[in-house]
Copies of this chain bind each other. A is one copy, B any other.
Amino acid sequence: MTTLGQTRWAIAEGYIPAQSSFSDPALVSHETACILNVGETTAHLRITVYFADREPVGPYLVTVPARRTLHLRFNDLERPEPIPRDTPYSSLFESDVSWCNTRDWIRGAPK
């Protein structure tokens, strides 16, 4: 299968609330980037996170195996440092192979 998508992608919107309104883990507030690698080689991604008032942080290194999807929760990123909560951010994805990305989010809604 030929490659699909692109190797550079930005998600301008990002925000992880400090507190979630749900106890159900499936509905816990999170921000997710959904990455699909339809190619035959592992995709190595470098994610840079941008903020309003300080220098960007990164790269966060992520791999997506051939013919696999990764639903990456920004909540789970730990290195070089966790994404701060209650802080607007943007993210830039750069990959060595083309891939697809859409984003997904569930915000904590009032109970």
Contacts and interface: CB of A to CB of B under 8 A. Distances in A.
Interface residues on A, range: 35 or more
A86 to B, nearest CB: 7
Interface string A59-102: 00000000111110000000000000010111010000000111
B24 A12 contact: no
Contacts of A90: 34, 36, 69, 100
A68 B92 contact: no
A70 B92 contact: no
* Central interface residue in A10, A11, A89, by most chain B CB within 10 Å: A10
B88 A68 contact: no
Given A27-B107, A38-B50, A52-B71, 19 more contacts: A4-B8, A4-B92, A5-B10, A11-B102, A12-B35, A12-B100, A12-B102, A13-B102, A22-B110, A27-B109, A34-B90, A50-B68, A50-B69, A52-B68, A52-B70, A53-B68, A56-B67, A69-B88, A106-B107
